[in-house]
Amino acid sequence: MKKILVIGSINIDLVTNVKKTPRVGETVFGKEFLEFPGGKGANQAAAIGKLGGDVTMLGCVGTDAHGQFMVDSLKQSNVKVDWVNKSSLNHTGTALIMVNENGDNSIVVIPGTNFEVLPERITKDIIKGFDIVIGQLEVPEETLSKAFKIAKDLGIMTLLNPAPAKQLSSELLESVSLLVPNETELEVLTGLTVNTNDDILRAYQELKKYGTEQLIVTLGSQGSALVTQNGIQTFKAQKVKALDTTAAGDSFIGGLVTQLAMEKTIEEAIQYATKVAAITITRMGAQSSLPNKEEVT
């Protein structure tokens, strides 16, 4: 099996359930208060670990209680933590999450130690030990640019989940093998409106100028779309009752990469990832909602 490195954020998720998401200036009551291990990077690593992948996390936590909790959680999900540093300079990354009765969430992220995952942490000796490198945008972009450039030069596959949404430098995009945004993130990346398959194709042509080889767009209840130089393929979502959509995209990526590491085709990997995400959204929390490989089977 191919070895996977996830470079990204490690957060403690502070979650409350609300009847509806408040408008600006509005106060609503939360039904309960819960703490879950989270962070896009850690979620994706945990998803891969639970699904049987050989995965290592590169990130940073604080020396506070949340930091140790997060490291322990990653280990329990079969994630290697060799490259997770502890820092006393800042608190462990924190996400404040509201989940409404429709299962939709609103999230505020306080980066904390995630912004200490700096480019000097990245070396060729680290990257060359892996076959797939994954990144998101909750750590400094410069760090990912360096890691992905090294990976590209070594012929190692790179996957970027461009979340939270922002415009990216050409330096980073040029080193991405597989880009996996949702439709909103794709709009921010390209400046194009994305409503139809034709829109997705136009967005792909824009990204292809920077060297992006493959694009997978996650579309929530509408499933997902794969775009390559051969055209576009769509994949239906599994129909389930959503309880909490937190980590849906992260679990999709976890399922996708696990299958690619097992030499499955990208179409097979997407179909598997769709099932992983479907299970995830029927449960509360981020890492706590991720299924293991037996459940997906």
Q: What is the mean pLDDT of the chain?
A: 95
Q: What is the reported pLDDT for 244?
A: 81
If one compares 287 and 250, the residue with the highest pLDDT of the two is 250
Tokens of 42: 């850690």
Fold (CATH) for 3-8+41-58+115-296: UDP-N-acetylmuramoyl-L-alanine:D-glutamate ligase (3.40.1190)
Query: 174-206, pLDDT tens digit by residue?
Result: 999 999 999 999 999 999 999 999 999 999 999
Helix (H) or strand (E) segment spanning residue 185: helix 183-190
Give, as one character, the DSSP assignment of residue 214. Answer: E
Query: 109-148, pLDDT tens digit by residue?
Result: 899 999 999 999 999 999 999 999 999 999 999 999 999 9
Contacting residues for 20 by C-beta, under 8 A, at least 6 apart: 28, 100, 101
Q: Let me know: does 4 contact 53? Beta carbons within 8 Å.
A: yes
| Residues with catalytic roles | 250
Query: 239-266, pLDDT tens digit by residue?
Result: 998 888 878 999 999 999 999 999 999 9
DSSP-based three-state secondary structure for 70: helix
Structural domain spans, the chain: 3-8+41-58+115-296
Q: What is the reported pLDDT for 211?
A: 87
Task: Calculate mean pLDDT across residues 22-40.
Answer: 93
Q: What is the reported pLDDT for 7?
A: 98
What is the Cα–Cα distance from 290 to 249, expressed in whole angstroms? 11
Is pLDDT of 163 > 90? yes
C-alpha closest to that of 151 among 131, 168, 135, 169? 131
The residue ranges of DSSP E strands in the chain, in sequence order, are: 3-7, 11-18, 30-38, 54-62, 79-87, 93-99, 105-110, 132-135, 157-160, 178-179, 214-218, 224-228, 231-235
Q: What is the reported pLDDT for 102?
A: 84
Helix (H) or strand (E) segment spanning residue 293: helix 293-296
Q: What is the reported pLDDT for 105?
A: 80
